Structure 1
Amino acid sequence: MKFNVNRDALLRPLQLVAGVVEKRQTMPVLANVLMQLQGQQLSLTGTDLEVEIVGRLPVDGVEMEGEVTVPARKLLDICRSLPDGAELKFDRDGERLVVRSDRSRFQLSTLAAADFPNREEMSVQTQFGISQGEIRRLIDATSFAMAQQDVRYYLNGLLLECRPQQLRAVATDGHRLAMCDRDAAGLNVESPIQVIVPRKGVLELGRLLEDGEAPAEVVLGNNHIRVVCGQFTFTSQLVDGKFPDYERVVPQSTGAEIFADRQALRQSLSRAAILSNEKYRGVRLRVTEGLLQIVANNPEQEEAEEQLVVDYVGEPLEIGFNVGYLLDATGAIHGDQVRIGLADANSSALLQQPDEAGDSRYVIMPMRL
């Protein structure tokens, strides 16, 4: 195995592939990245048995094909430490992989490629094309609401729901819910198909995708999801569980509606959050005609008060929320305005963009303060 590659061309694929590799592994080979050289193409594979990423890049100076696994973190640190534009020369020497660059030389230990886990072929439920930007938007708009290490394991991930010509993402941690819809013209299904992508898979896929119209191919199997985008192939196991009936918690009608400038509201919430209780992060929203008052206090008897001019007509209302949840939702909404729908002082709030261009909805449960 012998080839040359530019440090800058190698660095991004190696970063993304090595990002999957866990520091603590039950199998030594899982701390390694699989390098496969075929023709003028080098493939890099990293996996933790749940998520796998394969990156491909062209190389030159190929004298001998082959495959081997080397420590992922060490190889990545070597690449990072070398100067921009450096030329790397790889050469297999028995049980070692030698990496040379200018006056630097590194000898890395290897493990047999045959010991590296081989991803089995997946059965296909549905397959469709969509732009990377569309999937990226779905993840950015919802992933913050995923649970972390919840005993209800099906909440520790993102629901992807394939509908006719539409892809929907839903995430909830039991206290809030985020939902986003995007058009997917290539999605031809007769009835909705639901899969739950685990939290780590969602975060790694988000790092992989580019904004814009670059194409992606999505393959859904019974136990896996695969996304092929450019020179990368992402594969993840699916969470085996049933996602809750999320449509039941989305308010169908909200009596009181507050229309506010999104950026001004975010700034007011951020300032009030400084003096909120560090553990519960609660703020009170008091709304009267044309005015929203945001109040936060903490056990040290400190208090913050913000006033914001809003479009609201109706009875005065007072309701408490986790300020972090409000900031996450208003940060994910596109557009200059935000609509907050409230049925009463004890019901969940529905946040969304007021116009038809809005693609996402956010439900936040109230807090008792």
Structure 2
Amino acid sequence: MKLSIDKNIFMKAWQMAERVSASKSPMNVISGILLDSEGDKTTLLATDLKTSIKTYVDGITVKEPGKTVFPVKVVGELFKKASTSIFDIEVDENGKGLLISGRNRYRFSTYPWEEFPKLPSSSGASSFCEISKDELHRILDEGGIAGNMGEEFPKYLGAELLQIKNGEFHCVSTDGRRLSLSKAYVDKDSKDQDMLLPLSSIREFLRILSSVEVESNIKISLDGALGYFSSDNIEFSVRRVESTFPNYERILSPNTTTTLEIDRSQFISALERVDVVVRDSTRMVVLILSPGGDLHLWGKAPDVGEAREVVDGIIKGEPLKVAFNVGYMIDGLKAFHGDSVSLSFNGQEGQMMMLRPKESDFLYMLMPMKLKSSDLDGLDEFEESPF
């Protein structure tokens, strides 16, 4: 195999494949990337046996076609650090490689392409839906905010539900204390169905999707074991999670006692300042809502101190003192786009919901922390402090 490679173009595709290759595996061959050049078409393939990617590559002139598996750790570094914008690659029949960059020469070993596992294909999969790249990125990102990245049990806590229902595409996740739900419209003829995918794989796919420069639709499909995301140049597959996601619509309560509309960036900044005081303790922030007045935030931590913030907002309904994990509050607010956010509360023990004002395409639900009278000790004195 002999190739002439335009580094700047080639590396964009290489880095996508590199994200999927297995960094630690007893199978050396899957810690590499398979390059398959035939005619004027070159393909990169990578897998960690749970996720896989196949991407077509531009920026390569094929002088002699062939296949080989390049070790990511060494050869990938040489590709990135090649001193010229154009370099040549040669691989002989024994798998010995040569990289030529200007006057520099590097020899390396490759893995046998015959040992690389056969990757799954969406050719026989059932259609799920088709959606624009940007809208898919938004809905997957927003819908995955509430889940956990770790190996959780039940398994759905570390997964994201992708669901087609009545012509709407829903993405949902939960960690048992909060839930995020994002929606987009798809073809009304799309069949009602769902699949559960691991959040860690979804996050990797989102990074790959961000690096795709061409504005194109993504076709989503599924079979009994895998979900597929395909465009003109890329196919990404991920193994489905074998678990049942709870009926999230039954969890969401329509009841509201108090509402708040507030500037999102000001709210985040105030919460982050309170978090400085409470982050090494309970991470509890108390929201004090007075209809017609301002929003007060209160936090304290033993041996650290206390914090009170006052933030402008439009408050309606009943007066309320309610406590939340400040980190979860910030996570939800940062997932939104736009200047303001609407929050609805259902008493001191009921769920809180965040929404975009006058929109319903993204919802973030958070359960409050149990608020004891001792948690408010010192609040009155602190409010009256002259400093």
Shorter chain as normaliser: what TM range?
A: over 0.9
Task: Please show how residues 355-366 of structure 1 align to structure 2 within 5 Å.
Answer: 355-356=358-359, 358-366=360-368
Q: 1:214 to 1:246 in 2, by over 3 A?
A: same
In the other structure, the counterpart of 1:338 is 341
Deviation at 1:284, TM superposition (A): 0.8
Identify the range of structure 1 (226-235 vs 31-40) with the bigger mean alpha-carbon deviation.
226-235
- Matched-pair contact (CA < 8 Å) for 2:263–2:313: yes
Please report how far the alpha carbon of residue 315 of structure 1 lies from its aligned counterpart in structure 2 after TM superposition.
3.0
How far is 1:127 from its partner?
Answer: 4.1
Normalising by the residue count of structure 2, what TM-score does the alignment of the two structures yield?
Answer: 0.89
Aligned partner (choices 324, 329, 334) of residue 332 of structure 2: 329
Structure 1 residue 294 and structure 2 residue 293: aligned? no
1:72-126 CA distances to partner (integer Å, 9 max, x unpaired)? 132221122234x611211112221211111222222112111111124454232
1:166 is the counterpart of 2:207? no
Contact 1:265 1:308 in 2 (8 A): yes
Deviations along 1:191-240, one digit per CA (max 9) or x if unpaired, are: x3110111222011101214895221211222111111342211111111
What residue is the counterpart of 1:216 in the other structure?
A: 218
1:151-230 map, 5 Å: 151-185=153-187, 188-190=189-191, 192-210=192-210, 213-230=215-232
Answer yes or no: is the 8 Å Cα contact 1:277–1:299 preserved in 2: no
What letter is aligned with 2:91?
A: R
Q: Tell me, what secondary structure is at the counterpart of 1:368? A: coil
Aligned length: 365
In structure 2, distance between residues paired with 1:115 and 1:77: 23
- d(CA) in 2 for partners of 1:338 and 1:247? 22
Alignment of 1:114-133 (within 5 A): 114-121=114-121, 123-133=124-134
Instruction: Give the Cα separation in 1 of the matches to 2:133 and 2:232.
Output: 10
Q: Secondary structure at the match of 2:57?
A: strand
- Computing the radius of gyration from Cα coordinates, the structure with the larger value is 2
CA distance in 2, matches of 1:27, 1:198: 22
Q: Shift of residue 141 of structure 1?
A: 1.1
Task: Check conservation: 2:129, 2:190, Cα contact below 8 A.
Answer: no
17 and 60 in structure 1: CA distance in 2 versus 1, 3 angstrom threshold: closer
What corresponds to 2:6 in structure 1?
A: 6
2:87 alignment counterpart? 88
Match of residue 250, structure 1, among 247, 252, 260: 252
User: 1:43-82 maps to which residues of 2 (within 5 A)?
Assistant: 43-82=43-82
SS in 2 for 1:144: coil
- Residues 213 and 60 of structure 1, relative CA distance in 2, 3 Å threshold: closer
Counterparts in 2 of 1:22 and 1:62: CA distance versus 1, 3 Å = closer
Identity %: 25
For 1:60 and 1:220, the matched residues in 2 are separated by 32
State the match for 2:142 in structure 1.
141
Structure 1 runs of 4+ off > 3 angstroms?
A: 120-123, 210-213
- TM-score relative to the length of structure 1: 0.93
Contact 1:338-1:352 within 8 A present in 2 as well: yes
**8 Å contact 1:45–1:55 — kept in the other structure?**
yes
Q: How far apart are the structure 2 equivalents of 1:98 and 1:170?
A: 48
Q: Which runs of 5+ in 2 are unaligned?
A: 372-387
Secondary structure in structure 1 of the residue aligned to 2:316 = coil
For the structure 1 residues 327 and 212, does the alpha-carbon distance in structure 2 shift closer, same or farther, using more than 3 Å as the test?
farther
| Secondary structure class of the residue paired with 1:345 | coil
Matched, 1:281 2:283: yes
Q: Is the 8 A contact 2:284 2:369 kept in 1?
A: yes
Provide the rounded CA distance (Å) in 2 between the counterparts of 1:90 and 1:228. 29
Distance 1:166 1:131 in 2: 14
- Structure 1 pair 64–138 and aligned structure 2 pair: CA distance change class (3 A): same
> Is residue 309 of structure 2 the alignment partner of residue 306 of structure 1?
yes
SS, match of residue 315 in structure 2: coil
Distance 2:55 2:105 in 1: 24
Alpha-carbon distance in structure 1 between the residues aligned to 2:278 and 2:214: 38
Q: Give the Cα–Cα distance (whole angstroms) in 1 for the partners of residues 370 and 243 of structure 2.
A: 31
User: Residues 61 and 11 of structure 1: is their aligned pair in 2 closer, same or farther, counting only changes over 3 Å?
Assistant: closer
Q: Distance in 2 between matches of 1:304 and 1:80?
A: 48
Amino acid at match of 2:287: L
Distance of 1:105 and 1:164 partners within structure 2: 59
- Which amino acid in structure 2 is aligned with residue 91 of structure 1? E
Question: Where do 5+ consecutive residues of structure 1 fail to align?
Answer: none
SS of the aligned residue for 2:176 comes to coil
- Partner SS, residue 275 of structure 1: helix
Contact 1:154 1:243 in 2 (8 A): yes
| Inter-CA distance 121–234: structure 2 relative to 1 (3 Å threshold) | closer
Distance in 2 (CA, whole Å) between partners of 1:161 and 1:258 is 30
